[in-house]
């Protein structure tokens, strides 16, 4: 950040209240930037205060509405609900929710304990359900909305070395499908985005060795690095009225890997 904002402009996103979880870094930070530059009123939740503190000043002079950061541990459901109440009190009813927060920490199948399983599910899956549950009453009162859940191609490949994460990401697609049916009569759309190998700072630092990058390029149809802004632009479309007839779908953005 900053990124080249040469993407499409969506009038329906201007002044719309948008909530993004895990918005302080990586794909989440790209989403915060892109929505802010659409003129949306953006709030984002994270535990990374340092990264969040860098985002807001950068956008204050570039966006008509400065993003709002709220520190929140999404594994603490009461704290999550309190954060949403604060956001809706300041910004109004949330019309767009992006369930983005996750952590792809590596772990060995044989070493997973019940406690680690529960902790990883809380980090990668449980909050998507409860944030959605918390925002839906406001969306209904507002006449509708758009929920975008972030999954991954990890369960399609399938990836190895992080089986609990892969399980959670597969479950998110099922959650998306059922919520689209549950909420469709309230004019709430629910879709899913499954990124491939997106070169965030974390991926570059922890996993993207020259050998792995060579493997990625060998598997992708498009022979270029995929960046956080590529994902953010797809999410903008799914949040906007331009996708008003689309719900219950899983959009893969992986350069043609799967």
CA-only gyration radius of the chain, Å:
17
Per-residue buried b or exposed e for 201-212, using 16+ beta carbons within 10 Å of the residue's own CB: eebeeeebeeee
**Length of the chain in terms of residues written:** 258
Q: Which two tokens stand for residue 205?
A: 């630092």
Contacts (Cβ under 8 Å, ≥6 apart) of 104: 152, 154, 162, 165
Q: Which two tokens stand for residue 38?
A: 């659409």
Q: Which of 10, 116, 165, 212 is catalytic?
A: 165
212 is catalytic: no
Active site amino acids: 165
């Amino acid at each position: 950040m900053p990124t080249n904002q040469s993407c499409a402009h969506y009038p329906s996103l201007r002044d719309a209240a948008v909530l993004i979880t895990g918005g302080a870094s990586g794909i989440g930070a790209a989403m915060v930037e892109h929505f802010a530059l659409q003129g949306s009123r953006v709030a984002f939740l994270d535990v990374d205060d340092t990264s969040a503190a860098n985002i807001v000043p950068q956008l204050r002079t570039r966006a008509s509405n400065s993003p709002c950061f709220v520190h929140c541990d999404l594994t603490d459901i009461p704290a999550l609900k309190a954060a949403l109440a604060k956001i809706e009190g300041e910004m109004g009813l949330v019309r767009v929710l992006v369930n983005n927060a996750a952590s792809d920490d590596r772990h060995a199948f044989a070493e997973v304990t019940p406690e680690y399983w529960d902790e990883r599910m809380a980090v990668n899956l449980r909050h998507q359900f409860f944030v959605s549950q918390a925002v839906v009453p406001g969306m209904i009162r507002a006449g509708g909305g758009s929920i975008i859940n972030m999954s991954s191609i990890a369960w399609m490949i399938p990836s190895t070395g992080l089986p609990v994460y892969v399980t959670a990401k597969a479950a998110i697609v099922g959650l998306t499908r059922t919520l689209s049916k549950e909420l469709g009569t309230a004019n709430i759309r629910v879709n899913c985005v499954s990124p491939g190998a997106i070169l965030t700072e974390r991926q570059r630092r922890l996993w993207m060795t020259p050998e792995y990058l060579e493997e990625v390029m060998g598997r992708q149809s498009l022979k270029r690095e995929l960046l956080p802004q590529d994902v953010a632009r797809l999410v903008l479309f799914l949040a906007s009225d331009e996708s008003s007839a689309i719900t219950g779908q899983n959009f893969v953005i992986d350069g043609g890997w799967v």
